[in-house]
Structure 1
Amino acid sequence: MTLLSVSDLTVAYGRVTALDGISLSVRQGEIATVLGANGAGKSTLLRAIVGAEKPVRGALRFDGRDVTADPVHKRLAQGIVLVPEGRRILISLTIEENLLVGAHLRRDAEGIRRDIAAIYERFPNLATRRHMAASCLSGGEQQMLAIGRAMVARPRLMMLDEPSLGLSPLFVSRLFDLIRELNRDGLTILLVEQKTAKALAVAHSATVIELGRVVMAGDPQILQADPRLQEAYLGRSPQPAEDPRPIRQAIS
């Protein structure tokens, strides 16, 4: 079952087109990844899905419903939640206050308490410092807090924008273990990530975008074996006989 459908999505900033006719779908219960270089339009895509960017053309459907015109708070209420690049936690607030920010649309106090308790069980480092300012956390712990805050919103689709950015190798491994764990628990995830090999290793489907356009899409294992993707994003040189053109030119 398709949970999210993006059709011909175009976003422009003045005369600059950031997304140019992007189409993709995310199935219920899968991890879908979007890959691409800096400036390809990945973050713009996530912001458009959550409602923070208004498209000039195209449509978004979530669980069969057209949400193209819905504002951010309505999409959040339906379960579309974004963990933004750079985490953007409120470092002057306590860890628990940050988690409560994720519950600002909820009115079930007991359910919120249960969900926060579950987050503390999952992230014991947060539990031991729940009443301390979030500024005391390391970068990896801040990312766990950002994901915990998103979980309190009870997402049906969690979008992660460059979650490994700035993290140590140890925390990167823990992060991808967590992504797998959340998905096994039934959460649908849309992952934007520059660590291409790791993203492909956890994903069920993958889309590559360049200059705001989809240039490759499909099974992650098949894409990972493509010499053009290897050269552009995995740091591997293709065999001399392979097509030397850039991915977008070679596929269009």
Structure 2
Amino acid sequence: MKRFQQPPNIRVRLTVVIPARDEEAVIQDTLRRVLATLSPHYHELEIVVVDDGSTDRTAELVAEVAAQDARVKLVRHDRGYGGGRAVRTGILHASGDVIVAVDADLSYTPDQIPRLVKAVEQGADIAIGSPFMRGGGVENVPRFRLWLSKWGNKLLGRVLGGYTCVTGIFRAYRREVAREVAERIHLDGKELWPETVYYARKRGWKIVEVPAILRGRRAGRSKFKAGKAIVSHLRLLFRYLLRR
């Protein structure tokens, strides 16, 4: 995939929301990479890290970076609610005009963020980074997990309007849209991602997909549970079929 070539709009106020639970192995490196990559392009940049009840030093390590750079903000949950709740919390603490959500392990590298931001600047309400569309790709992801993700997205995406990736966190939102999602969709887990697509279509919002490269975890422990993912995908599929 080609790197973002058009210069990003430095006037855009950008917030990057990072949900984190037990990510001490990667979180400081993640913050440094996001800051180093985006700082030259966005003069008004903030990173909101939501610690979702970590039992390790994640919050402490984020606080260290925040003490050195005011653009980094730490928000803490008293316990682990789930990635969906963490993203919703981050959105409600964001000040940017465009809000992007990424995983703490940077499964989507920060140099891909300007593509999503540009799509929102050009009129999208939500821009989804998709590894499964033409121009996207996957690197170093375990074979079974990749197979499950592909088929889950194929089935759910077809029901939800023909999208290629509806279960991924990597998205950019227009501020008003993001806040409505955070305030109106009361889901705490990863079900928030496809439910947001469903809700957006009902609201008549413009959703676009942007090619993205998904990479396997570089450090720390994966929180992926195959059985849980299968049950979740099937439950969501039946839910959306019944709503049609």
Verify same fold: TM over 0.5. Answer: no
The TM-score with structure 2 as length reference comes to 0.31
Q: TM-score, normalised by structure 1?
A: 0.30
> Which has more radius of gyration?
1
Question: Structure 1 or 2: larger strand share?
Answer: 1
